A and B are shown apart, each in its own frame.
Chain A
Amino acid sequence: MWLFALPAVLINVVIILIPALLTFATAFVVWDGVGLPVWAGFANFQRMFDDPVFWSALGNNLVWTLIFLTVPVIMALVMAAALLVAPKGRLVVQCVIFLPRILAVAVIGRISQGMIFSPVTGVVAWLNEHGFSIADPLADPDRSLYAVAAVDIWHWWGFLTVVFLAAMRQISIDQIEAARLDGAGFFTLLRYVLLPGIQPTLALMMILTVIWSFQVFEFIYIVTRGGPAYGSEVLATLAYRHAFFEGDIGQAAAVSCVMSLFGLCATAVYMRLQIREGAQSA
């Protein structure tokens, strides 16, 4: 029977497991990717901890995590509840808000640069002409991270809404009707009936949010490349820069290890949730 699993296991081991172990090893050498690696002990980690950009990137990952644990989650919860009480045309609305999720990040990134944030050709330019004075947020080290986060939220929250709505529809109608008969308004219903009803789904999505927030790469790399002045640099873009622009693979590997360590903690929680559910359904 094990022959059935062999191709899948083999591909996973060759492409993911062995290179991942090599990354751990690489964190302890100095290597430019071409010549022979030289043993360096903890020097890569020492250099990383001395680098202020590493700390600000780590901080940006934490900010990103906090943003994504709150803003899109609240937006999606409210929206899913709204679609639950006003079901007319729900299928179409679901498709519309889900649509951004299937578009390529590279294209969304370019559209946001040119058509939204650009002070020449974007909505920002239009606002400036109509009495609002807004500078290009992508050119501001203090605001670029939030501007990119806004684009990612646009891309992400509709998906979250669809997930929450599917979970809410599993709550028994009787429970919802009873609350409404008792005079519960929209937000009371959301807080005391719907939220507890989808708690397992909510927990899973929050854990996945933490995992993905420490891996965020594409949006930032495409829209700001971590800039300006490292203002939106995160661990993943920092590691990529070390590896492919500075040819410092050991340093890149050290950053990757730290990044994965955070992910690993969240993954442990994720596994517990999944295994508990697996045990229940078995």
Chain B
Amino acid sequence: MTETRWGRAVALTLIGIASFGSLLPIALAVLNAFKTTVEINLNPLGLPARLQWENFASAWRNASLGPSLLHSAELAGLTILMVCLTAAPCAYVLARQQGRGWRFLGFYFMASITVPAQLYLFPLYFLFAKLGLVNSIPAVALIYTAMLLPFAIFLLRTYVLAIPKALEEAAQVDGAKPWQAFFYVILPMMRPGLLTVAIIVGLNAWNEFVIAVTFLQNDNNVTAIVKFYSLTGQYSTDWGEMLAAAIIIVLLPVVVVFVLLQRRFIEGMTAGAVKS
């Protein structure tokens, strides 16, 4: 019994340290966003004398965050739409069809999950440059779609596998064509899966860096993350303002959605990782 109690004490201590460590940098960023640069320089860990709400106003204005947040939203929305539209039917056939060709297609998508961006990034960039597709948000949404499709297909496939086959067979006996069975029977039942996919795809599109920084280079299409990145150098001086911008870009939108839908986040991001 003492053994158990001791073990529990160790466990609780570890949990405490870990939670503290996970929150510390975030808390530090929030704290410093309310301080003047002088205060940060004097004591990075100290409390602000007065809450500097002006940091948020000047970050919003100087970084022109408004338009860049809209670009990010547009990019994320387009990507979600394209991934859901193309992954759902593909997941359906991969779950239902047997045979060599389909199995090969499944392996192909599985392998493409592990392909690094550097393997296709360079030719793609110069190809898009020739076609005038650099600095186009829909073109970047197409790249994101390709990157996130395999994940979406495998997640949705498990949802299709859980739907009894008898349902579509009944629809087909009633004279429904395959696309009708998919559209009216399967798709409505995939809704929870599609919501999870939408959340994870949206998060990835919102946070993505490499493709965004390479393909979207001017103020008419730059995303919020890249805007933030390019405004702040390693030895930036106005940290208060910069951190305020960071909070507007990630901490608020992403964390709010995370807190509301954390189960779906965790389900979607750990999908396929847990083996029985």
A residues near B (Cβ < 8 Å) are: 1-2, 4-5, 7-9, 11-12, 14-17, 19-20, 22-23, 26, 33-34, 75, 78-79, 81-83, 85-86, 93-108, 110-116, 118, 120-123, 125-126, 138, 154, 158-159, 162-163, 166-167, 170, 180, 183, 185-186, 200-201, 203-205, 208, 211, 214-215, 217-218, 221-223, 235-236, 239-240, 243-244, 249, 252-253, 255-256, 259-260, 263, 266-267, 270-271, 274-275, 277
Name the residue on A nearest B251 (C-beta): A103
The answer to whether residues A20 and B28 also contact, given A5-B93, A8-B153, A104-B206 and a CB cut-off of 8 A, is: no
| A1 partner residues in chain B, CB cutoff 8 A | 93, 97, 178
The answer to whether residues A96 and B19 also contact, given A16-B146, A33-B126 and a CB cut-off of 8 A, is: yes
| B246 partner residues in chain A, CB cutoff 8 A | 107, 110-111
Please report the C-alpha to C-alpha distance between residue A271 and residue B114 in the assembled complex, in whole angstroms: 10
- Report yes or no: B25 in contact with A85, Cβ–Cβ below 8 A: no
Give the secondary structure class of B's interface. Answer: helix
B residues contacting the other copy or chain, number (CB 8 A): 101
> How many whole Å from B115's CB to the nearest CB in chain A?
6
Please report the C-alpha to C-alpha distance between residue A120 and residue B234 in the assembled complex, in whole angstroms: 12
| A154 partner residues in chain B, CB cutoff 8 A | 21-22, 25
Question: Is B8 part of the contact surface with A, judged by Cβ < 8 Å?
Answer: yes
Question: Is B12 part of the contact surface with A, judged by Cβ < 8 Å?
Answer: yes
> How many whole Å from B230's CB to the nearest CB in chain A?
10
Name the residue on B nearest A267 (C-beta): B114
The answer to whether residues A20 and B275 also contact, given A97-B19, A211-B114 and a CB cut-off of 8 A, is: no
The answer to whether residues A15 and B124 also contact, given A121-B239, A218-B209, A263-B114 and a CB cut-off of 8 A, is: yes
| A221 partner residues in chain B, CB cutoff 8 A | 210
Name the residue on B nearest A255 (C-beta): B118
Give the secondary structure class of A's interface. Answer: helix
> How many whole Å from A213's CB to the nearest CB in chain B?
11
- Report yes or no: A110 in contact with B25, Cβ–Cβ below 8 A: no
Assuming A12-B150, A104-B250, A215-B116, what are 17 further A-B pairs, CB within 8 angstroms?
Answer: A11-B142, A11-B145, A16-B146, A82-B10, A98-B265, A99-B26, A102-B255, A106-B209, A106-B225, A111-B28, A115-B28, A167-B274, A204-B275, A208-B114, A217-B210, A266-B114, A274-B110
Question: Is B162 part of the contact surface with A, judged by Cβ < 8 Å?
Answer: no
- Report yes or no: A19 in contact with B19, Cβ–Cβ below 8 A: no
Please report the C-alpha to C-alpha distance between residue A158 and residue B23 in the assembled complex, in whole angstroms: 12
**Interface members, chain B 40-79 (any A CB < 8 Å):** 40-41, 43-45
**A7, A170, A205 pick with most chain B CB within 10 angstroms:** A7
- Report yes or no: A201 in contact with B209, Cβ–Cβ below 8 A: no
Please report the C-alpha to C-alpha distance between residue A115 and residue B4 in the assembled complex, in whole angstroms: 39
**A99 touches which one: B10, B22, B142 (CB < 8 A)?**
B22
| A93 partner residues in chain B, CB cutoff 8 A | 15, 18-19
Question: Is B190 part of the contact surface with A, judged by Cβ < 8 Å?
Answer: no
**B25 touches which one: A116, A121, A186, A263 (CB < 8 A)?**
A116
| B111 partner residues in chain A, CB cutoff 8 A | 267, 271
| B143 partner residues in chain A, CB cutoff 8 A | 15
- Report yes or no: B22 in contact with A275, Cβ–Cβ below 8 A: no
Question: Is B207 part of the contact surface with A, judged by Cβ < 8 Å?
Answer: yes
- Report yes or no: B258 in contact with A99, Cβ–Cβ below 8 A: yes
**B265 touches which one: A17, A96, A102, A111 (CB < 8 A)?**
A102
**B122 touches which one: A23, A105, A120 (CB < 8 A)?**
A23
| A222 partner residues in chain B, CB cutoff 8 A | 209, 229
Q: List 7 interface pairs A-B (beta carbons < 8 Å), by A numbering.
A: A4-B182, A8-B149, A12-B112, A104-B254, A114-B242, A208-B114, A256-B118
| B107 partner residues in chain A, CB cutoff 8 A | 271, 275
Please report the C-alpha to C-alpha distance between residue A170 and residue B115 in the assembled complex, in whole angstroms: 31
> How many whole Å from A222's CB to the nearest CB in chain B?
7
| B146 partner residues in chain A, CB cutoff 8 A | 11-12, 14-16
**Interface members, chain B 8-45 (any A CB < 8 Å):** 8, 10-12, 14-15, 18-19, 21-23, 25-26, 28-29, 32, 40-41, 43-45
Name the residue on A nearest B22 (C-beta): A97
Q: Which 9 A-B pairs have the closest CB atoms?
A: A15-B146, A200-B275, A19-B120, A82-B11, A22-B123, A8-B90, A4-B89, A215-B116, A104-B207
The answer to whether residues A244 and B15 also contact, given A15-B146, A111-B25, A126-B44 and a CB cut-off of 8 A, is: no
Please report the C-alpha to C-alpha distance between residue A7 and residue B259 in the assembled complex, in whole angstroms: 34
* Residues 251-276 of chain B, each 1 if its beta carbon lies under 8 Å from chain A, else 0: 10011001100100110011001111
- Report yes or no: A86 in contact with B8, Cβ–Cβ below 8 A: yes
| B180 partner residues in chain A, CB cutoff 8 A | none
The answer to whether residues A166 and B274 also contact, given A5-B93, A9-B105, A185-B3 and a CB cut-off of 8 A, is: yes
| B12 partner residues in chain A, CB cutoff 8 A | 82, 86
Name the residue on A nearest B152 (C-beta): A8
**B18 touches which one: A97, A105, A120, A125 (CB < 8 A)?**
A97
- Report yes or no: B123 in contact with A11, Cβ–Cβ below 8 A: no
Please report the C-alpha to C-alpha distance between residue A97 and residue B14 in the assembled complex, in whole angstroms: 12
The answer to whether residues A186 and B7 also contact, given A99-B255, A106-B226, A159-B270 and a CB cut-off of 8 A, is: yes
